[in-house]
Chain A
Amino acid sequence: KKKQLTLDAFF
């Protein structure tokens, strides 16, 4: 299953 990440995970 694909999940859309948010940019918060990369800060």
Chain B
Amino acid sequence: MFKAKLESAKEFKKVVDTMATLLDEICLQVNEEGVRAAAMDPSHVALLSLNIPRIAFEDYQADEHEIGIELEAFKKIMNRAKAKDKLILELDEERNRLNVIFENQGKRKFSLSLLDLSGATTKVPELEYHNVITIKGDALKEALKDADLISDHVIMRASPYEFKIEAKGDLNDFTAEFSSEDDAIISIEGEEEVKSAFNLEYLLDMVKGVSKGDIVKLYLGNDMPLKMEYSLAGCELMFLLAPRIEE
């Protein structure tokens, strides 16, 4: 069986929105410890991994199951979440459906037909990073939106004391600079200077669910994938984004 209750359907909507911008479908691996999932986008440029430990749920009961979900349909349902709605996710094994229930003044129940995605699990590569930037989510998001006016990609640079996002257009440039003294920065770790270039459309999709108060961790290397981590209402999201390189 699988039955799990989340305090805020609206908060979980942000998680589903973020998954749906990058992925078409995802296979949730549920067990007594919580819910996990990992998948690459169709072009294999980005990877998203989700971990919701059982402590993030108000109620949680689960045996081992793989629950394959079509994300566009799930997103449409989650868009109906209202403030103060609780969310119950419940596996109906007989009908092979995931019941998505909004609980508030009554119960509104959608039954989402499941996909057979068994065996489609994605392994997450273990990459080693020396530079880690912990930054306020809104500052990062605004800098990426600024850069989007200038170019379709950015260069991220990190040194022991500084983090920069640069965009170069044909005529105009943009640079966001954050030093370890700035309010936006929680910490900058790393002993060397590194830089990698990334596609902006993917970056903007990855920070879609981030709002004021969220803290984002960035792991950077030289022409290495960007690793990004943040939590939304106890749901831990991790992304990898492959770099663009000079040929």
Contact = CB atoms under 8 A, between A and B. Distances in A.
Given A1-B247, A11-B123, A11-B125, A6 B43 contact: yes
B215 to A, nearest CB: 25
Contacts of B245: 2-3, 5
B5 interface: no
B226 to A, nearest CB: 11
Contacts of A3: 244-247
Contact residues on B (Cβ < 8 Å of other chain), bracket: 20 to 34
Interface of A: 1-11
Contact of B125 (A1, A2, A7): A7
B142 to A, nearest CB: 25
The A interface, classified by DSSP as helix, strand, loop or mixed, is mixed
Contact of A6 (B153, B242, B246, B247): B242
Nearest to A2: B244
A8 B225 contact: no
Contacts of A10: 125, 127, 224-225, 240, 242
Interface in B233-247: 240, 242-247
Given A2-B153, A4-B45, A4-B199, A9 B246 contact: no
Contacts, number: 44
A7 B124 CA distance: 10
Nearest to A3: B247
Contact of B45 (A1, A2, A6, A11): A6
Interface of B: 40, 43-47, 123, 125, 127, 153, 197, 199, 224-225, 240, 242-247
A1 B247 CA distance: 5
Contacts of B125: 7, 10-11
Nearest first, the 7 closest Cβ-Cβ pairs linking A and B are A6-B44, A5-B242, A1-B247, A3-B247, A2-B244, A7-B242, A11-B125
A1 B246 CA distance: 6
Given A2-B153, A2-B245, A7 B197 contact: no
A9 B197 CA distance: 16
21 contacts: A1-B246, A2-B244, A2-B246, A4-B199, A4-B242, A4-B244, A5-B45, A5-B242, A5-B244, A5-B245, A6-B43, A6-B44, A6-B45, A7-B46, A7-B47, A7-B125, A7-B225, A7-B240, A7-B242, A10-B242, A11-B123
